[in-house]
Every structure is written in structure tokens, then in C-alpha cells.
């Protein structure tokens, strides 16, 4: 039996006058999946979030969130099962962190006792009694994350969720995301911090000018982009040039000296180049093979070198 996607977009469009903020986007996000939604400013990411939240209605196409239309009047129950963290967190400065979280708990019919657990989870227990106006940017971000987690949401929409968080808190945040997706929660997050997304998301969707340019796992996008693989080798003194001559055909030598070689080759040639290195007779002291980063893949499709 075919599973029901947590989010399903079918030729979804949203126009503001003559401007197509979202233009014919089709995409399905399964339960328990973590999807990175990438794109330049104005690519349509925020509009997609608003559509999924039911804050605005589509101009054309179909949208299903948790098997319902999020913009319908009867979808209040579904919207309560969505956690949302906007890019720019803004709360009432006169409230304390604890007061604000309890207020949102009432709105979502979440147990009051859940507030203390979440405050501890995001590291704000000690500051919970202080006015929000005294909070740093990182503290406000953590409070925003706590309110998004209220009510054990089945869908999380996160816009730049790690802004203002230090490395330790970022690791804690992604550990929490792993726990949630393992329990079946669907996560759609948008971030410009691409390096931290590489091993932490299941698929990547890249928006461009309101359209879905490409979507797939990082491995699939690497294959589609066909970007070069980079080798970095450390060899004994005087062996660098000899090894370069042996494997120089069909590769791009970026750097050669007595100790080191840096070269790139097409993905399909990676194993052949590796075999040449192994059988060259040179005692390689160290080798580092780097596939294209998510930054490189994103830049490839962002610059119009892939599907549109």
C-alpha cells in the first residue's frame, strides 16, 4: 500500500499580481523524512512555508499537509500538529520566557508540564524567569525552537533554525531532529549553513525563481551535477613529480611540489585514478579523497548549470 506523504505539492503555484512567488512546484515529503529546502533570497522558500502553514492560499495546484488542506477552516487540528520556527524570531519583550511558552502551550492545547521539559531541553531553565527583552539573539532562537516543539508536532517547518546558536547547541539541535524523525516527525528546514546540512538531511530540494530546480539525496545531486572529485596526496620528498607524471593523464593537477599533489578528476574516473596511485610504486604517506560539497552542488544548480 502506498504511504501517505506528510506534505504533498502538486503543480503548486502562488502569484502576487504578475509575480510568481511559487511556480508549479511538485514535491512529496514522507513521514519521518528531513528535507533541506535551499534557494537564494526570493526563490520561494518562505512562500512555500506560508502555504504549508495555511497562512496564504495557493493560486493554482494542490497542497496536502498531514493529509488535509492546511488553509481550510476545518484544518485547525492539523495546524496544531505543525511546529514552526521563523527566520526572524519576534516575541513580546515584557513577557518572561516561561510565560511565553505557557501562552503558546495553551494555544496548541499542549500540557503545561511540557514547557519545563522543553526549557530544559533548549538550555533556558535558568533564564526562563527573565524578561525576553534581556535575552540574547541565541537565547531568543532557543526559545523559538522550544515553542515550535510544543505539542509533539508531526511536521516541523524550520527557517534558519541554528542562527545564533553556538556549535554545542547546534549539535544538540540536530540530535533532537534525529530523535524526532526517528519517531516519525517530518522536518522541512531552510538554511544557508550548507556545511552543517550535508550529513544531517535525507534529501535536498533547491528552489530557483519560484520553481523546484532539483530534488534528491546528496549522492543523487552529486551524480547529476557531475562535479570533479578532489584528491590530496602527501608523498615522500622528490616523489611528487614522479607520481604526477604517472597519473597525469585525464586528471587536472591543481598543485605539485616535492611533498604533495592535489588533483581533480571526473567522478567516473575516481577508481581508475585511485588504482594508478596504488600501483605507481610511490609510497603514499597520506591520501584524502573529497567528493563535491553541498556548497559546490548548490552553486552548480543555483548558477543555472542544471535542471530548471
Are 245 and 216 in contact by the 8 Å Cβ rule? The answer is: no
Q: How many other CB atoms are found less than 10 A from the CB of residue 222?
A: 20
Question: Coil, strand, or helix at residue 112?
Answer: coil
Task: Tell me whether domains 7-81+153-223 and 228-291 share a fold.
Answer: no
Q: Which cell numbers hold the place of 280?
A: 605507481
- How far apart CA 250 and CA 253 sit, in angstroms, is 10
Half-sphere CA count of 87, side-chain side, radius 13 A:
10
The CATH superfamily holding the domain 7-81+153-223 is P-loop containing nucleotide triphosphate hydrolases (3.40.50.300)
Q: Does domain 228-291 have CATH number 3.30.70.120?
A: yes
Domain locations in the chain as residue ranges: 7-81+153-223, 228-291
Are 187 and 158 in contact by the 8 Å Cβ rule? The answer is: yes
For 212-256, the DSSP string reads EEEEE-HHHHHHHHTPPEEEEEE--TT-HHHHHHHH-TTSEEEEE
One digit per residue, the tens of pLDDT, for the chain of length 308 reads 345 789 999 999 999 999 999 999 999 999 999 999 999 988 999 999 999 999 999 999 999 999 999 988 877 888 889 999 998 888 999 999 999 999 999 988 888 889 999 999 888 999 999 999 999 988 998 999 999 999 989 999 999 898 888 888 888 889 989 999 999 999 999 998 898 999 899 999 999 999 999 999 999 999 999 999 999 999 888 787 778 777 766 788 877 777 888 889 888 888 988 888 888 888 889 999 999 999 999 999 988 655 54
Question: In the prediction, which pLDDT does 258 show?
Answer: 74
Half-sphere CA count of 294, side-chain side, radius 13 A:
24
Are 209 and 48 in contact by the 8 Å Cβ rule? The answer is: no
- How far apart CA 138 and CA 284 sit, in angstroms, is 45
Longest dimension (CA), the chain: 75
- Tell which residue, 84, 147, 156, has the closest CA to residue 114: 147
Are 80 and 109 in contact by the 8 Å Cβ rule? The answer is: yes
Burial 162-184 (b: 16+ CB within 10 A, else e): bbbbeeebeebbbeebeebbeee
- How far apart CA 86 and CA 148 sit, in angstroms, is 9
Amino acid at each position: 500500500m502506498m504511504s501517505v506523504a506528510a506534505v504533498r505539492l502538486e503543480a503548486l503555484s502562488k502569484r502576487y499580481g504578475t509575480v510568481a512567488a511559487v511556480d508549479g512546484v511538485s514535491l512529496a515529503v514522507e513521514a519521518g523524512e528531513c528535507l533541506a529546502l535551499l534557494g537564494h533570497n526570493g526563490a520561494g522558500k518562505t512562500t512555500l512555508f506560508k502555504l504549508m502553514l495555511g497562512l496564504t492560499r495557493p493560486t493554482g495546484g494542490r497542497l496536502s499537509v498531514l493529509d488535509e488542506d492546511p488553509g481550510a477552516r476545518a484544518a485547525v487540528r492539523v495546524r496544531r500538529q505543525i511546529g514552526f520556527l521563523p527566520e526572524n524570531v519576534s516575541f513580546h519583550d515584557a513577557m518572561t520566557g516561561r510565560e511565553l511558552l505557557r501562552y503558546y502551550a495553551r494555544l496548541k492545547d499542549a500540557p503545561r508540564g511540557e514547557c519545563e521539559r522543553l526549557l530544559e531541553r533548549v538550555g533556558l531553565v535558568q533564564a526562563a524567569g527573565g524578561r525576553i527583552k534581556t535575552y540574547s539573539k541565541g537565547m531568543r532562537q532557543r526559545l523559538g525552537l522550544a515553542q515550535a516543539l510544543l505539542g509533539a508536532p508531526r511536521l516541523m517547518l524550520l527557517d534558519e533554525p541554528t542562527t545564533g546558536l553556538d556549535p554545542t547547541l547546534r549539535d544538540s539541535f540536530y540530535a533532537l531532529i534525529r530523535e524526532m524523525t526517528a519517531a516519525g516527525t517530518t522536518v522541512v528546514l531552510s538554511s544557508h549553513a550548507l556545511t552543517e546540512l550535508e550529513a544531517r538531511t535525507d534529501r535536498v530540494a533547491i528552489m530557483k525563481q519560484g520553481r523546484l530546480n532539483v530534488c534528491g539525496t546528496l549522492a543523487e545531486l552529486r551524480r547529476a551535477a557531475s562535479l570533479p572529485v578532489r584528491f590530496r596526496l602527501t608523498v615522500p620528498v622528490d616523489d611528487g613529480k614522479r607520481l604526477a607524471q604517472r597519473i597525469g593523464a585525464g586528471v587536472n593537477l591543481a598543485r605539485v611540489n616535492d611533498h604533495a599533489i592535489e588533483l581533480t578528476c571526473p567522478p567516473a574516473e575516481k577508481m581508475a585514478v585511485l588504482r594508478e596511485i596504488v600501483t605507481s610504486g610511490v609510497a603514499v604517506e597520506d591520501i584524502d579523497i573529497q567528493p563535491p560539497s553541498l556548497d559546490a552542488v548548490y552553486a552548480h544548480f543555483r548558477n543555472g548549470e542544471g535542471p530548471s
